[in-house]
Amino acid sequence: MQELVTDGWKPDSSLALPLHIQISNYIQAKIRSGAWPAGMRLAAQRDLARQLGVNRSTLVSALGQLTALGLIEGRRGGGTRVALSNDAHSNRAGNWNDYVEEGIHYPNLPTIQAINRLEFTKGLIRLGTGELSPELLPNETMKSILADLSRQSLPLSYEEPLGSLQLRTAISKELSNIGIHAAPSSILILSGALQGLQLIGQGLLPRGSTLLLEKPSYLYSIHSFQSVGVKLYGLPMDSEGLMTQGIEAEVHRTKASLLYTIPTYHNPTGILMTEERRHLLMNTTRALGLPILEDGAYQDLWLDNPPPPSLKAMDREGRVLHLGTLSKTVSPGLRIGWAVGPEPVIRRLADIKMQSDYGSSSLSQLLAAKWLEEGYHARHCEVLRMELRRRRDAVLDMLSTHFGHLASWNRPTGGFYIWLSLNKPLPLTKLFKAALEVGLLLNTGDLYNRSDARHLRLSYAYASLTELEIGIKRLAELVSSF
C-alpha cells in the first residue's frame, strides 16, 4: 500500500524549471488536492527516485522543500509521510486513509499485488503468467462479431438475475457436449470464475467452516474464502490428481463442509486427474455427504487427448457445483464465466451477485453468446491447441537444455503450466526480487502453498517463444547462482 503511483508522470528536463521544483510542485498538488491524504506513507526514496527517473539527490532536495513547507514529515521507524497537520489539512480532519487497513477483506498477498501491477510494466518477461498471449486471442473474429452486433439492437439495460438467457442457453448447449446436462435455470453468468469463488465464499459457507482442497492450489493465492473466515485444509496430490485417502479422516476431524478441486489441468501443477481417481473421489465424497466445488477453468485446453468426464458430468445428486470461464481460452478481458449447479444454490448465488454488481456486462454477455452460438469456440480451440502444443514442446526442450541439472518437471497434457521442482529449496521471495532485477516476472510456488520453497509455476501460454528462450536461460543462471 505504501507504493507511490506517479501515474507515469516524470519531471521534464527540457523545461526551464529545475527538476526538484517540478517534483515538489507535483507532490504539493497531490497533497493540496487531498489525493495524498494526511498520514499517507510515501515510498522509499530509492523507489521514488526510480519512478520519477531522477537522481536520489534531486529527490532529496524536493523532499526537503516539502518538509520545510510542513507538507511532509519523517516517520518514526523511517520513511516519510504526508504531514498529519499541515497547511492543506490544518484541522483534525479524519480521513479515509485511516481505514485502508481496516475492512474484513484481506489484502492480496504482497507478491500477488506486485505481480498485478508489474504485469503492466513493459519489458519484463513474464514466465508464469496464467493467460494467453495476446497473439493467441481471437482478435479478428471478435472484431467481426462486433461488426455484426453493430447492426442489431443492443442489450443496454440491466440483465435478469441469472444473466442473459441467450448466453445461458448457449452455455447449456456447449456443456452438453462434454456430458454436463444443465438447463439455463441451473446456470448463473459470472464476471469470470473468480467471482464465483467470491460469491460462494460469501453466500454459502458459514464463518468458521473448513474447505478441503489440493495443496498446492490456485485457491491459496487468493482470499475469497479466508476473508470470510473459512479455513483451508490442503490434501496431497500425486501424478493422478488429488489423493483421496485422507479425505474421510479430514472430514471427521475438521467437519469440512466442502471440497474444492481443479481436476483438469490443475493450477499450478498442470496435473490431470485420471478417470479412475475421479470415480474414487466421487464415491468417497458421496459416502461422506461432502459437496464438491469443481473448477473447470482449463478443461477445454486439452493438448493430447480430451480429458475424462468432468465431475459435474458424473453427478446425479446435485452435489457438484461447477465453474467455467472464457478467460483461459478466449479472452480474460470479457470477464465471462459461469456456475452450474442445483437451482436453489444458483438462485442464492444470483441474489448475492445482484447485490454485488447487478450482473455482468450485457455487451460481454452478448458477445460471448454469439461466440458460442456460431461455433467460433470449437474452431478457435482447435487452433489454440495446436499453438499451445507447439509452445509446450518448445518449453520442455528449453528446460531440458537449461534446467536438466537444476530441477525436474512434469509434461502437461493440457492447460498452461509446468510445475518446476527445483533440486534444492531456495528463498523464493529473494528469488522473485532477484529475477525482477534481471527482467523476469516469476510466479513462485509459495503463492500456491505458503510453505513451499522449491517450485516455480512456468507458463508456456503467455510470453513469446523468443522471450521464453531468453527468460528460461536467464532463470537457470539465476537459480544456479543462488
Ligand X SMILES: Cc1ncc(COP(=O)(O)O)c(C=O)c1O
Report the interface residues with ligand X, using CB under 6 A: 130, 192-194, 218, 262, 267, 295, 297, 325, 327, 332, 337, 358
Per CB under 8 A, contacts with its own copies among 132-161 are 134, 137-139, 142-144, 146-147, 149-161
DSSP element (H, E) containing 252: helix 247-254
- Checking DSSP bridges between strand 292-295 and strand 258-261, what pairing results, if any? parallel
Smaller CB distance to ligand X: residue 40 or 142?
142
HSE toward the beta carbon, residue 478, CA cutoff 13 A: 22
Out of 65, 274, 361, 421, the residue judged to bind its own copies by CB under 8 A: 361
Cell 479515509 appears where?
Answer: 96
Residues 6+ apart with CB under 8 A from 463: 125, 126, 127, 129, 133, 471
- 309-328 binders of its own copies (CB under 8 A): 315-321, 327
Minimum distance from residue 444 beta carbon to its own copies (Å): 18
Please say which residue, 44 or 354, places its beta carbon nearer to ligand X. Answer: 354
* Contact range with its own copies by CB under 8 A, out of 233-241, 353-361, 387-395, 396-404: 353-361
Rounded to whole angstroms, the Cα distance separating 336 from 366 reads: 10
Q: How far apart are the first and last CA of the chain?
A: 29
Rounded to 5 degrees, what are φ and ψ at 232? -105, 135
DSSP per residue over 467-481, as a string?
HHHHHHHHHHHHHHH
**Residue 246 exposure: Cα atoms within 13 Å on the Cβ side:** 16
Return the one option of ligand X, its own copies, none that residue 86 interacts with (CB less than 5 to 8 A, by type).
none
By the 8 A CB rule, do 463 and 129 touch?
yes
Q: Nearer Cβ to its own copies, position 94 or 427? A: 94
> Out of its own copies, ligand X, none, which partner does residue 439 contact, by CB within 5 to 8 A per kind?
none
Residue with cell 497473439: 135
- In angstroms, what is the minimal distance from the CB of 135 to its own copies? 11
218 binds, among ligand X, its own copies, none (CB under 5 to 8 A by kind): ligand X
Closer to ligand X by CB, 43 or 354: give it.
Answer: 354
CB of 45 to its own copies, least distance (A): 18
Residue nearest to ligand X (CB): 192
408 binding its own copies? (CB under 8 A): no
CB of 276 to its own copies, least distance (A): 21
Strand partners, 259: 212, 292
325 interface partner picked from ligand X, its own copies, none, CB below 5 to 8 A per type: ligand X
**Contact between 261 and its own copies per CB under 8 A:** no
Can you list the alpha helix ranges (DSSP code H) found in 91-223?
A: 110-118, 139-149, 165-176, 193-203
In whole angstroms, what is the distance from residue 51 CA to residue 66 CA?
18
Among 11, 308, 359, 412, binds its own copies (CB under 8 A): 359
Contact 162, 199 (CB under 8 A): no
Count of residues that interact with its own copies, criterion CB under 8 A = 126
- 383 in contact with its own copies (CB under 8 A): no
User: Of these partners, ligand X, its own copies, none, which one is at the site of residue 267 (CB under 5 to 8 Å by kind)?
Assistant: ligand X
